[in-house]
Amino acid sequence: MALIKGEGAWVWDADGNKYLDFVAGLAVNSLGHCHPEVVAAIREQAGKLMHVSNLYWIEPQVRLAKLLVENSALDKVFFCNSGAEANEGAIKLARKYGKKYMGADKYEIITMEQSFHGRTLAAITATAQPKYQKDLDPLPPGFKYVPFNDFSALVEAISPNTCAIMLEPVQGEGGVNVAGYEYMQKVKQLCAEKHLLLIFDEVQCGLARTGKLFAYEHYGVEPDMMTLAKAIAGSFPMGALLAKEKVAGCFQPGDHASTFGGNPLASAAGYAAVSILADKGFLAETAAKGQYFSDKLSQLHQKYSFITDVRGKGLILGLGITVEGKPIVDACLARGLLINCVGSNVLRFIPPLIITEQDIDNAVQILDEVMSGIS
Ligand SMILES: *Cc1c(COP(=O)(O)O)cnc(C)c1O
């Protein structure tokens, strides 16, 4: 299938078929396809200045950085082009910080099983899922894995070399797994006690997806670093690493850079997108729609015994199932609904945040039809 056109929550293929898009470019198209304000910002900036390198100040980049800093608990921003790059930046900065403030032997980063941090060599090593690391060895050293939401395993894993703990508050690719509230409080306290950096990968769960601008807000736990990408520039490729002042200071001019990162075009798109995503009314609506969708999914859970649970927060939701997910995904596609499956047994729903309740009803009805055919 080749998709050639998109508008709002809908996409069209080359044969003229129309689909309701609950994949949203893998949580990228949070504002739907071709949001008019993002399109206008790109059109305007494309006619003005697209790229100049980071040898010079880039006005739209400064505006976007300011918007992100004013709306988060972090102080400084580094822009790049993807989530993996943002995480590479976080890993490098954690090591720099470790060396500067903690000693030469502080380099190890503890990450979580079922995590996903991207496909570059360091990011895929941080990604504690063997299936993604197969035949890539030797992997860079300095990473250690623990089960997600298991505080005692985390405590045990800390070694004299540990400098940081990195996790997704809501794991996306790993199966829509939500960090527990108590767990996050304890992780934060542990980091404070042991002087470890806390890094949140909010590439997928950040930027309004959970109904708050950043997922960490659900916990009242501030990270020392946070990575963003996916939805940040309204479908245009962009990533960002945010850090607290003291941590950010471990990168001096020349230490880290990206040729395209935060260029005028991406930054203009980013400013338009984040301005909408950060709007209080937009966030409240997203949270309400998430609750509405989650309630509907709970009804399916009641109805079908092969559904084990409803999981997620806001509009990143999943259904655990005991049957193969792929046939369900395919049957939904045949009925005009795009969804995907993470692992083989979790159906994931990451619709555009501009989705209407009526389109949520449409999607649930298609799921219901498809599921009624499964024994
Ligand atoms: C998608 C994703 C990444 C990787 O982003 P890319 O832009 O594909 O490099 C990293 N972390 C999380 C949580 C993601 O969902």
Let me know whether 45 and 180 are in one domain. Answer: yes
Let me know whether 197 and 337 are in one domain. Answer: no
> Please, what is the Cα angle at 132 between 21 and 111, to 5 degrees?
95
Q: 264 preceded by cis ω (within 30°)?
A: no
Let me know whether 257 and 302 are in one domain. Answer: no
What is the number of the ligand 1 atom nearest to the C-alpha of 205? 13
Let me know whether 241 and 300 are in one domain. Answer: no
Which of 277, 294, 314 delimits the end of a domain?
Answer: 277
What is the number of the ligand 1 atom nearest to the C-alpha of 172? 15
Let me know whether 273 and 284 are in one domain. Answer: no
Per-residue pLDDT, 375: 72
The reply to whether the predicted model has a pTM over 0.85 is yes
pLDDT along the chain (375 residues), means of 10: 97 98 98 98 98 95 98 98 98 98 96 98 98 97 98 98 98 98 98 98 98 98 98 98 98 95 98 98 98 98 98 98 96 98 94 98 98 90
Per-residue pLDDT, 237: 98
Domain with residue 132: its CATH number is 3.40.640.10
Let me know whether 350 and 227 are in one domain. Answer: no
Per-residue pLDDT, 24: 98
**Nearest C-alpha to atom 15 of ligand 1 is from which residue?**
204
DSSP 218: G
Provide the domain count of the chain: 2
Cα–ligand 1 centroid distance for 119 (angstroms): 8
Let me know whether 264 and 357 are in one domain. Answer: no
Let me know whether 142 and 100 are in one domain. Answer: yes
Cα–ligand 1 centroid distance for 302 (angstroms): 33
Which of 261, 277, 293 delimits the end of a domain?
Answer: 277
Let me know whether 111 and 216 are in one domain. Answer: yes
Domain of 269, in residue numbers? 38-277
**Nearest C-alpha to atom 11 of ligand 1 is from which residue?**
117
What is the number of the ligand 1 atom nearest to the C-alpha of 120? 9
Of 79, 111, 173, the one to substitute when testing ligand 1's pocket (max ligand atoms within 8 A of C-beta) is 173
Of 116, 168, 226, the one to substitute when testing ligand 1's pocket (max ligand atoms within 8 A of C-beta) is 116
Cα–ligand 1 centroid distance for 273 (angstroms): 18
Cα–ligand 1 centroid distance for 167 (angstroms): 12
- Which residue, 173, 257, 170, 177, is CA-closest to 207? 170
Let me know whether 248 and 335 are in one domain. Answer: no
Per-residue pLDDT, 137: 96
Residues with a catalytic annotation lie at 116, 201, 230
Which of 277, 300, 335 delimits the end of a domain?
Answer: 277
Per-residue pLDDT, 344: 81
Residue 9 and residue 23: Cα distance in Å, rounded?
A: 10
Residue 359 and residue 298: Cα distance in Å, rounded?
A: 17
Ligand 1 shell residues, CB under 6 Å: 82-84, 87, 116-118, 168, 172-173, 201, 203-204, 229-230
Let me know whether 336 and 192 are in one domain. Answer: no
- Which residue, 295, 289, 302, 297, is CA-closest to 318? 297
